Amino acid sequence: MALAYVDTARRALDSDLFYSFRRSPATVAAAVVVLVYFFAAGLAPWIAPHNTYDVAILDLSNAFLPPAWTASGKAQFLLGTDDQGRDVLSTIMLGARVSLMVGFAAVLFAAVLGVTLGLVSGYVGGVVDAAIMRVADVMLSFPAILIALLIDGVARGVLPRDLHTRVSVYVLIFSIGLSTWVQYARTVRATTMVEKSKEYVQAARVIGLHPALIMLRHVLPNVLGPVLVIATIGLAIAVLTEATLSFLGVGVPPTQPSLGTLIRIGNNFLFSGEWWMTIVPGAALVVLVLSVNLLGDWLRDALNPKLR
Amino acid sequence: MAAYILRRLMQAVIVMLAVGFIAFGMFNFVGDPVTNFIGQDATPEDHERMRAALGLDQPFYVQYARFAANAAQGEFGTSYRLGMKVSAVLAERLPATLELVFAAAAISILVGVPLGVYTGIHRYGLLSRAFLTFSLVGISLPTFLIGILLILVFSVILGWLPSFGRGQVVPVGWWSTGYLTQSGLRSLILPAITLGLFQTTLIMRLVRAEMLEVLRTDYIKFARARGLTERAINFGHALKNTMVPVITIMGLQIGGLIAFAIITETVFQWPGMGLLFLQAIQYADVPVMSCYLILVAMMFVLINLAVDLLYYAVDPRLRADRGAVRGRQV
Amino acid sequence: MSAMDHPTVILPRETRPRANQPLLQVENLVVEFPTRRGVLRAIDDVSFHIDPGEVLGVVGESGAGKSLTGASIIGLLEPPGRIAGGRIFLDGSRIDDLPPEKLRRIRGKQIGAIFQDPLTSLNPLYSVGRQLVETITTHLDMNQAEARRRAIDLLAEVGIPAPERRIDHYPHQFSGGMRQRVVIALALCANPRLIIADEPTTALDVSIQAQIIALLKRLCRDHGTAVMLITHDMGVIAETADRVAVMYAGRIAEVGPVRQVIKHALHPYTVGLMGSIPSVGVDRARLAQIDGAMPRLNAIPEGCAFNPRCPKVFDRCRVERPDLIPQGPTAVSCWLYDRKEARRG
């Protein structure tokens, strides 16, 4: 048993994927950065230096403190404080947590929706396929940000204000997910159509198996790579979209600020010289998205040797 | 030719009908704009009077018929928030947005396409790698942050360029342009770069990917085997084939610019439609939202139509009189 | 004519002025692909020549290195593949080490090429006329009108009906066979002395294959063009070629006049290959087949590359690699024909 595991591990370390990973220092660095973010964001409620959600401990006399390395900074607030005396480092850790949770949930929603629709579209074909693909075309011609804004606008109109505040995170996940499923659907549909014409599908029918079942077993492994690539780049896009919507003030509620919300708040103080309130969360956002994009790029190149 | 255009036109009409239906759905079913308009403290009488004034007390089908008839005439009723005609408000804001989008599109195409071609041809060059790294940072920078950074550097620190507004505009007929005044052009620089940067990197990466794809094809190999010069191969053969898929995506990207203008306009307080739309969302100002939606959809449809025509000009396979050709094949 | 008659002249470039010299001379060609698991040798010490006007068939299984040999000659190896050794001479002057621009001037002008798939060899966005004219004006001193006239003549010569009209058509308006004729016309644009035809008929319908081969044969006879005909189809070789080189695992197994090789194959691999051709009138119980498969490039055995599959293998084949050994008009790389072995046997 143990030997088998060692063997598997050795083969994994020897694989082309891992090789291309090791050979690219930028990718390794990106992976480390992403892991640090996951760790810091995941454990933020326990490891953040201050609990910025707790209004009781806020001290307005600590407001607008610049980062610790500047002359008037304080050591306990490494990256400075915001207008309410909240520790910027802590708000970033908690904000990244919100951003990543929304991002992951949106990607999961989009992937499940897209893969399902793609399978159905490719397998059933005919009118169903035409209908799904037409909707996909229209969706694709409207930028994600516009779709997300509209859905949020509608939700704002339909839901009572306090309810909207409570569910706005879900509205956000729904609207980002709904605006990004098309790519998954297209990829899966193409693969499904290729597999459908293969002989084993006909053979399955002959021996009385439901072809859809047998196809699923063949299609899913085939689309795993492309879907993973789309999902990785999708995570970067989802985090960006969330940040943008929050920056525009139609994202997560201000009581649980995401990175975009923090930048929005900081932007109000850009002209009065408190640059760190904008630049620090902005840098945090860009480093995260850049790292995820680097991983996505590497994954795409590694899984598609033709493009190398 | 005629059949091709007709088919495209039909598709455009279908898209417009679908969008129109969504817009009407929003118009009719979303929220209670009266509350947004006059506030929570208004008396029930005020409320009723306002409903009647806005035409919201009528039955569904009357509102629908009126919506369709009015929309066809460019009439979208009165903004709940501003108390002005929606069409007038949007018409006033349209030039600002279009001038911004045009400037950004020009930047992204004029910079993005050459960079993409360069990095595609000189695949392993040092400069190519530098451009690619820069482009990855570009697509990782959210538009609003680009705007903020540009304002911080060029307005706050250096004080070279204005950080908000459109500068001085001059009327040309019903259009108001900022292209003709110095302050208008100066005001345009930062927002146009902000809006165009993301698309520039996207177009560059796309052109590069397509270029690499095309350079691998058999006809390029055969062109090499025929002894054509690198120049003829890269710019005569590869570039033209690259442009076929790139044109489509560029059409979509210009649509994207219109959407991303919302963000840029917010950052720079640019008095365009996007800023208006965002305020409409925050106040659930449905007439403005639905009118904006239809207007934007119409622009997308027009862009797509233009793209199709361009396609037609580039690709002879579409131009072919298919029936005649099939008969002639041996 | 012996070397004694001509004192060696040292020329600035490596040239070998000789009468009756071969048009193309490939000497000890080695092509390598560096990979992360070491360097793969795709072509290992291959030598052959082609005389003016001669058709040399190159035959072998896919992966034997036929196409790579052709690509090496015209300097179009895909990176990371590279020529790691050997020399290539055209008309006695060395071409494998020429700078890219000089090599480009040879391509199309002196050496034409025809590729496997006519459907993908032509740029879909340009009319065939434009593609012909640009090739002609690149290599010949002609203006647009002259080039167009020549293009029409070429189309007529390759058997395209109504060339004056067809010249302005786009590739998608031609059928597969017609497109391959256009490709041949493109290869002939500058009247090259050698055409490298890489599987020119594989992608075509069987009924059209014969037409294209006949056309190629006729054109090359008329123009005195030599052809390196790369194919896996012994039938095409038998019909077209003057001599044939049999390749196996990046090496030449046997090379000689077509009749000789077909009738009296020497190398056990060639014998197996000939056994797999069905022939009319010969009553055989079943077609012979060679057991096993050609080794992968990273697993080429020691000694003779064919030894694991060879029915006549003996100890020496497993340790020592045979060179081409002349046997009358043929040359064969097999220890069976080594004099020492013959004496021993």
ipTM of the complex: 0.84
Radius of gyration of chain A measured on its C-alpha atoms: 23
Mean of pLDDT values over A97-105:
90
Alpha-carbon distance C42 to C64, whole Å? 8
B132 touches chain A (CB under 8 A): no
Tell me which residue of B276, A280, B163, B277 sits closest to A265, measured CA to CA.
Answer: A280
- Contact by Cβ (8 Å): B207, B116: yes
- Contact by Cβ (8 Å): C190, C135: yes
Q: How many residues in total does chain A contain?
A: 308
B227 touches chain C (CB under 8 A): yes
- Chain B positions touching A145 (Cβ under 8 A) are 259-260, 262-263
Domain membership of residue B159 (yes or no) is yes
Q: What is the pLDDT along chain B (330 residues), one digit of tens a residue?
A: 667 778 778 877 877 777 777 777 776 666 555 655 555 556 777 777 777 766 666 776 777 677 767 777 777 767 767 777 778 888 888 888 999 999 999 999 899 999 998 998 888 788 888 888 888 888 888 888 888 888 888 888 888 888 787 877 788 777 878 787 888 888 888 999 999 998 888 888 888 888 888 888 889 999 999 989 888 988 888 888 888 888 877 877 787 888 888 889 988 888 889 888 888 887 777 778 888 888 888 888 888 888 878 877 777 776 654 433 333 333
- Contact by Cβ (8 Å): C222, C214: no
Alpha-carbon distance B32 to A49, whole Å? 44
- Chain B positions touching A243 (Cβ under 8 A) are 142, 144
Residue C286 pLDDT exceeds 70:
no
Mean of pLDDT values over A179-183:
86
Instruction: Verify that B12 and B137 share a domain, yes or no.
Output: no
The residues, any chain, with a CB within 8 Å of residue B129's CB and separated by 6 or more, are: none
Alpha-carbon distance A75 to A65, whole Å? 10
What tokens were used for B82?
């501003």
| C107 vs B218, B227, B232: nearest CB | B227
pLDDT value of residue A8 = 58
Residue C343 pLDDT exceeds 60:
no
For chain A, domain boundaries: 25-307
What tokens were used for B264?
């840029």
The last residue of one of the domains, among B24, B48, B72, is B72
pLDDT value of residue C133 = 94
Buried b (16+ CB within 10 A) or exposed e, A232-269: bbbbbbbbbbbbbbbbbebbbbeeebbbbbbbbbbbeb
pLDDT value of residue A275 = 74
Comparing C215 with A279, the larger pLDDT belongs to C215
> Exposed (0-12), middle (13-18) or buried (19+): which is B61, by Cβ within 10 Å?
exposed
- Contact by Cβ (8 Å): B271, B66: no
Tell me which residue of C233, C299, C291, C262 sits closest to C66, measured CA to CA.
Answer: C233
Q: Where are the beta strands (DSSP E) in B44-184?
A: 170-172, 175-177
Cross-chain Cβ contact A157/B145 below 8 Å: no
**Amino acid at site C262:** I
Instruction: Verify that B91 and B12 share a domain, yes or no.
Output: no
The last residue of one of the domains, among B49, B72, B95, is B72
Instruction: Verify that B97 and B20 share a domain, yes or no.
Output: no
**Amino acid at site B127:** L
Tell me which residue of B241, B6, B211, B247 sits closest to B123, measured CA to CA.
Answer: B211
Instruction: Verify that B25 and B153 share a domain, yes or no.
Output: no
| C105 vs B227, B232, B315: nearest CB | B227
**Amino acid at site B171:** P
Residue C288 pLDDT exceeds 50:
yes
Alpha-carbon distance B204 to B207, whole Å? 5
pLDDT bucket at A74, cuts 50 / 70 / 90: low
Q: Show which of residues 140-169 on chain C sit within 8 Å of chain B, judged by CB atoms.
A: 161
* % of chain C residues with pLDDT over 70: 88
- Chain A positions touching B216 (Cβ under 8 A) are 306
Mean of pLDDT values over A243-255:
81
Instruction: Verify that B33 and B125 share a domain, yes or no.
Output: no
- Contact by Cβ (8 Å): A96, A281: no
Q: Show which of residues 55-114 on chain B sit within 8 Å of chain C, judged by CB atoms.
A: none
Instruction: Verify that B106 and B31 share a domain, yes or no.
Output: no
Task: Write the CA distances from C269 to B232, C254, C275, C294, integer angstroms.
Answer: 45, 9, 10, 11
- Contact by Cβ (8 Å): A229, A303: yes
Domain membership of residue B77 (yes or no) is no
* pLDDT (tens digit per residue) in C1-19: 444 445 444 445 555 555 5
What tokens were used for C104?
């480009």
Instruction: Verify that B59 and B102 share a domain, yes or no.
Output: no
Instruction: Verify that B124 and B236 share a domain, yes or no.
Output: yes
Cross-chain Cβ contact A263/B255 below 8 Å: no
The residues, any chain, with a CB within 8 Å of residue C196's CB and separated by 6 or more, are: C70, C73, C74, C111, C112, C113, C114, C227, C228, C230
C117 touches chain B (CB under 8 A): yes
Fold category of A25-307 in CATH? MetI-like fold (1.10.3720)
pLDDT value of residue A15 = 64
| B260 vs A142, A145, A154: nearest CB | A145
Domain containing B228 equals 87-329
Mean of pLDDT values over C307-317:
86
Question: What angle, 0 to 180 degrees and rounded to 10, lies between the N-to-C axes of helices A211-247 and A144-158?
Answer: 80
What tokens were used for C142?
């002609």
> Exposed (0-12), middle (13-18) or buried (19+): which is C226, by Cβ within 10 Å?
buried
Tell me which residue of B191, B194, B192, B195 sits closest to B257, measured CA to CA.
Answer: B195
* pLDDT (tens digit per residue) in C90-100: 988 899 888 98
Q: Which chains touch C (3 or more CB pairs under 8 A)?
A: B
The residues, any chain, with a CB within 8 Å of residue A204's CB and separated by 6 or more, are: A210, A211, A213, A214, A215
What is the phi-psi region of residue B27: left when phi exceeds 0, alpha when psi lies from -120 to 50, beta otherwise? alpha
pLDDT value of residue B184 = 82
pLDDT value of residue C340 = 64
Residue A68 pLDDT exceeds 60:
yes
Cross-chain Cβ contact C172/B325 below 8 Å: yes
Cross-chain Cβ contact B29/A152 below 8 Å: no
* pLDDT (tens digit per residue) in C165-187: 999 999 989 988 899 899 999 99
- Contact by Cβ (8 Å): A249, A269: no
Which of the residue ranges A1-5, A244-248, C46-50 has the most confident prediction, judged by mean pLDDT?
A: C46-50
Mean of pLDDT values over C140-150:
92
Mean of pLDDT values over A211-238:
81
* pLDDT (tens digit per residue) in C120-136: 889 888 999 999 999 99
Using omega within 30 degrees of 0 as the cis cutoff, is the peptide bond preceding B287 cis? no
- Contact by Cβ (8 Å): C145, B238: no
* % of chain C residues with pLDDT over 90: 34
Instruction: Verify that B99 and B128 share a domain, yes or no.
Output: yes
Residue A261 pLDDT exceeds 60:
yes
Looking at chain A, which residue has its C-alpha nearest residue B215? A307
Tell me which residue of C35, B120, B132 sits closest to A23, measured CA to CA.
Answer: C35
Residue C257 pLDDT exceeds 90:
yes
pLDDT value of residue B326 = 34
Domain membership of residue B25 (yes or no) is yes
- Chain A positions touching B140 (Cβ under 8 A) are 236, 240, 286, 289-290, 293
B202 touches chain A (CB under 8 A): no
Instruction: Verify that B46 and B99 share a domain, yes or no.
Output: no
Alpha-carbon distance A241 to A103, whole Å? 9
Q: Which chains touch B (3 or more CB pairs under 8 A)?
A: A, C
Which of the residue ranges A37-41, A50-54, A248-252 has the most confident prediction, judged by mean pLDDT?
A: A37-41
Q: Show which of residues 155-214 on chain A sit within 8 Å of chain B, judged by CB atoms.
A: 156-158
Looking at chain B, which residue has its C-alpha nearest residue C191? B226
Total structural domains in chain B?
2
Buried b (16+ CB within 10 A) or exposed e, C278-296: eeeeeeeeeeeebeeebbe
Radius of gyration of chain C measured on its C-alpha atoms: 21
Q: Where are the beta strands (DSSP E) in chain C?
A: 24-35, 38-50, 55-59, 82-90, 93-94, 111-114, 194-198, 226-231, 243-248, 251-257, 325-327, 330-332
pLDDT value of residue B42 = 64
Q: DSSP code of C299?
A: G
**Amino acid at site B224:** R
Tell me which residue of A239, A226, A300, A289 sits closest to A34, measured CA to CA.
Answer: A289
Domain membership of residue B126 (yes or no) is yes
Q: Where are the beta strands (DSSP E) in B33-166?
A: none
| C123 vs B229, B237, B329: nearest CB | B237
pLDDT value of residue C4 = 44
Mean of pLDDT values over A177-191:
87
pLDDT value of residue C146 = 93
Q: Output the pTM of the full model.
A: 0.77
Which CATH number covers residue B167?
1.10.3720.10
Alpha-carbon distance B75 to B67, whole Å? 8
Residue A75 pLDDT exceeds 70:
no
Domain membership of residue B78 (yes or no) is no
- How would DSSP label each residue in A159-183? S-HHHHHHHHHHHHHHHHHHTS-HH
pLDDT value of residue C203 = 78
Q: Kind of pairing, strands C38-50 and C226-231?
A: unpaired
Comparing C30 with A39, the larger pLDDT belongs to C30
* CA end-to-end span of chain B: 25
pLDDT value of residue C345 = 46
Tell me which residue of B210, B135, B112 sits closest to A307, measured CA to CA.
Answer: B210
Domain membership of residue B147 (yes or no) is yes
pLDDT value of residue C80 = 83
Q: DSSP code of C267?
A: S
Looking at chain B, which residue has its C-alpha nearest residue A141? B252
pLDDT value of residue B324 = 36
Instruction: Verify that B28 and B105 share a domain, yes or no.
Output: no
Instruction: Verify that B55 and B124 share a domain, yes or no.
Output: no
* % of chain A residues with pLDDT over 70: 80
pLDDT value of residue B104 = 93
